[in-house]
């Protein structure tokens, strides 16, 4: 049986779980990742030397890590959730990469301060700066979605929508005064109308 190692509170783990649900795959999930189970132990580090979640383990024992790569691997091997080629494939890969490399880093300070309440993350200027940089990235997404495509890469739902949906969910679940982003809000509602979207973007879990 296919296995996923990782706590469900992790966005990177939920990217893989949502992908598996959309693909109709059955799998077992094991809670790994702090505070539930420390992944920086030899048993886990042999599977992923970074000591991070998620890790995917196929039924034949093949193991891999790095959430975006896992998503693309699953889509390619199961033949769904990525456009077959052309411009739509380019756009899906572009937005998938942008989610992890551009959209997510700015929120770090704000999430520690406002959601995790991590000691030492209480500087109002740094919180405001984090939110300003995060908002600037969200405006890029707003402008793209306002062009009217239902999904980020075109007419069809793809992996990029999963990754972006989870980041948008975090945006709405983090308590601060949000700028108005009507196209992002409509897209979020569309993604949450999918059963797996609702399951992996629950109220109260950022
Ligand atoms: N680039 C990696 C990042 C993995 C990562 O940083 N995962 C976090 C959770 S989102 C983690 O394992 N943190 C340590 C822990 O949970 O113990 C990926 O996308 O898979």
For residue 205, tell me if it sits in a domain.
no
Claim to verify: residue 111 and residue 63 sit in the same structural domain: no
Q: Is the CB of 33 under 6 A from ligand 1?
A: yes
Domain count, the chain: 2
- Report d(CA 145, CA 168) in Å as an integer: 13
Q: Is the CB of 189 under 6 A from ligand 1?
A: no
Cα(49) to centroid(ligand 1), Å: 12
Domain extent, residue 64, equals 2-78
Phi, psi of 27 (to 5 degrees): -155, 165
pLDDT in tens, 8-27: 999 999 999 999 999 999 99
What predicted TM-score, i.e. pTM, was given to this entire model? Answer: 0.97
- Report d(CA 45, CA 63) in Å as an integer: 12
Claim to verify: residue 51 and residue 21 sit in the same structural domain: yes
Q: Is the CB of 69 under 6 A from ligand 1?
A: no
Phi, psi of 122 (to 5 degrees): -140, 20
Q: Is the CB of 53 under 6 A from ligand 1?
A: yes
Task: Name the closest-CA residue to atom 1, ligand 1.
Answer: 66
Task: Name the closest-CA residue to atom 6, ligand 1.
Answer: 52
**Residue 148 φ/ψ region, left for φ over 0, alpha for ψ in the -120 to 50 degree band, beta for the rest:** left
Claim to verify: residue 94 and residue 184 sit in the same structural domain: yes
pLDDT in tens, 94-151: 999 999 999 999 999 999 999 999 999 999 999 999 999 999 999 999 999 999 999 9
Kindly indicate the confidence band of residue 84, based on its pLDDT and cuts at 50, 70 and 90. very high
């Amino acid at each position: 049986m296919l296995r996923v190692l990782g706590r469900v509170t992790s966005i990177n783990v939920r990217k893989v779980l949502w992908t598996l649900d959309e693909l109709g795959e059955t799998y077992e999930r094991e809670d790994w990742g702090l505070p539930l189970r420390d992944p920086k132990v030899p048993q886990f580090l042999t599977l992923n030397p970074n000591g991070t979640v998620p890790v995917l383990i196929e039924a034949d024992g093949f193991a891999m890590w790095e959430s975006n790569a896992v998503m693309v691997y699953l889509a390619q091997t199961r033949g769904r959730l990525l456009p077959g080629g052309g411009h739509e494939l380019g756009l899906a890969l572009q937005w998938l990469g942008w989610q992890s490399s551009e959209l997510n880093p700015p929120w770090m300070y704000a999430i520690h301060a406002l959601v995790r309440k991590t000691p030492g993350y209480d500087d109002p200027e740094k919180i405001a700066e984090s939110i300003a940089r995060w908002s600037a990235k969200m405006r890029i997404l707003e402008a793209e979605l306002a062009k009217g495509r239902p999904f980020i890469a075109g007419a069809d739902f793809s992996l990029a929508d999963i990754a972006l949906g989870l980041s948008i969910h975090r945006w709405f679940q983090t308590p601060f005064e949000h700028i108005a982003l009507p196209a992002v809000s409509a897209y979020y509602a569309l993604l949450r109308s999918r059963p797996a979207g609702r399951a992996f973007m629950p109220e109260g879990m950022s």
